[in-house]
C-alpha cells in the first residue's frame, strides 16, 4: 500500500472527477493516464461512483484510483473495499487517522483545523476550498508555523493559477476538475481529455 505522501508525489495535478455514466469511467481514466496524470480522484457524488472506482482500479493500467468527497468513516471503508487506493475529504473526519486502509488526505481551511489534523497524525492536507480560503497567501502564511504540513490545494485551481500554487515549497500537487470538463466527458472526446492532462502534467516543477 502506498502512503499518501507517495501518491501525491506521482503527478502535479490530481483530476477531481464527477462521473455520471459508468460507461465513461474507464475511457476517461485511460485518457487522463495517457496524458500523464495517473492519480485519479473519483468523487462519491453520483450513484455510480463506487462502481466507477472498482472498474477503474481493476482495468486501468498505471492508474492510482482514489475516492473523493469522503465525509464519514463508512464511506472510507466502502471505498477501500472496492479498491480505492486513497481517500480525499473536504474536511477532518472525527476519529479518522492517516494510516489504515486507503490512506486519507483530509481537508483543512484554518490554522485550528491544521492543529487538529497534525494532532491526529496527518502531515498532508487538502487546502479546501483553496481559492476561497486564502489561496497562495494562506499557504505562504501556514509555511512557517506548520513546517511539517504539506498541501494539495483544491477548489478553484485551474490551468491559469496552478503554477502559482505548485511553485510553493509546501505544495506537493494540486487537485482540480478543469482537466475533465463535463461537456468534453459527455461528448466522449478522449483526445481532448488527454491533451488537457498532458498540459497539466507539464505544470510540474
**Contact positions vs ligand 3PG (CB under 6 A):** 16, 128, 154-157, 176-178
**Which residue among 5, 20, 41, 96 is the active-site one?**
41
Cβ atoms within 10 A of the Cβ of 97, count?
12
* DSSP 8-state secondary structure symbol assigned to residue 95: T
Question: Is 140 a residue of the active site?
Answer: no
Smallest gap, in angstroms, from Cβ of residue 176 to ligand 3PG?
Answer: 4
Rounded Cα gap, residues 85 and 66, in angstroms: 5
Smallest gap, in angstroms, from Cβ of residue 133 to ligand 3PG?
Answer: 12
85/154 with CB nearer ligand 3PG = 154
- Owner of C-alpha cell 509546501: 170
119/160 with CB nearer ligand 3PG = 160
Rounded Cα gap, residues 133 and 114, in angstroms: 13
Smallest gap, in angstroms, from Cβ of residue 43 to ligand 3PG?
Answer: 6
64/200 with CB nearer ligand 3PG = 200
Rounded Cα gap, residues 89 and 115, in angstroms: 17
Contacts of 33 (CB under 8 A, 6+ apart): 40, 60, 61, 62, 63, 197
**Which residue among 5, 54, 94, 126 is the active-site one?**
126
- Of 58, 85, 56, which Cα lies nearest the Cα of 70? 85
Smallest gap, in angstroms, from Cβ of residue 82 to ligand 3PG?
Answer: 20
- Of 19, 43, 21, which Cα lies nearest the Cα of 155? 43
61/160 with CB nearer ligand 3PG = 160
3/177 with CB nearer ligand 3PG = 177
Rounded Cα gap, residues 153 and 90, in angstroms: 11
CA dihedral sign, ordered 198, 204, 62, 85? negative
Rounded Cα gap, residues 104 and 88, in angstroms: 6
Which amino acids are annotated catalytic? 41, 126
Amino acid at each position: 500500500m502506498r502512503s499518501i505522501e507517495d501518491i501525491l508525489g506521482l503527478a502535479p495535478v490530481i483530476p477531481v472527477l464527477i462521473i455520471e455514466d459508468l460507461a465513461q469511467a474507464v475511457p476517461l481514466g485511460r485518457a487522463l493516464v495517457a496524458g500523464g496524470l495517473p492519480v485519479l480522484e473519483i468523487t462519491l457524488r453520483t450513484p455510480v461512483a463506487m462502481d466507477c472506482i472498482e472498474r477503474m482500479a481493476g482495468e486501468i493500467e498505471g492508474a492510482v484510483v482514489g475516492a473523493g468527497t469522503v465525509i464519514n468513516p463508512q464511506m472510507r471503508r466502502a471505498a477501500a473495499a472496492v479498491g480505492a487506493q486513497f481517500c480525499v475529504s473536504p474536511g477532518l473526519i472525527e476519529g479518522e487517522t492517516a494510516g489504515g486502509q486507503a490512506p486519507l488526505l483530509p481537508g483543512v481551511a484554518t490554522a485550528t483545523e491544521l492543529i487538529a489534523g497534525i494532532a491526529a497524525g496527518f502531515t498532508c492536507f487538502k487546502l479546501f476550498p483553496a481559492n476561497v480560503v486564502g489561496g497562495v497567501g494562506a499557504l505562504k502564511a501556514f509555511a512557517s508555523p506548520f513546517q511539517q504540513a504539506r498541501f494539495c490545494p483544491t477548489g478553484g485551481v485551474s490551468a491559469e493559477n496552478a503554477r502559482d500554487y505548485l511553485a510553493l515549497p509546501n505544495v506537493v500537487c494540486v487537485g482540480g476538475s478543469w482537466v475533465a470538463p463535463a461537456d468534453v466527458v459527455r461528448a466522449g472526446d478522449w483526445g481532448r481529455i488527454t491533451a488537457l492532462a498532458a498540459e497539466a502534467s507539464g505544470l510540474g516543477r
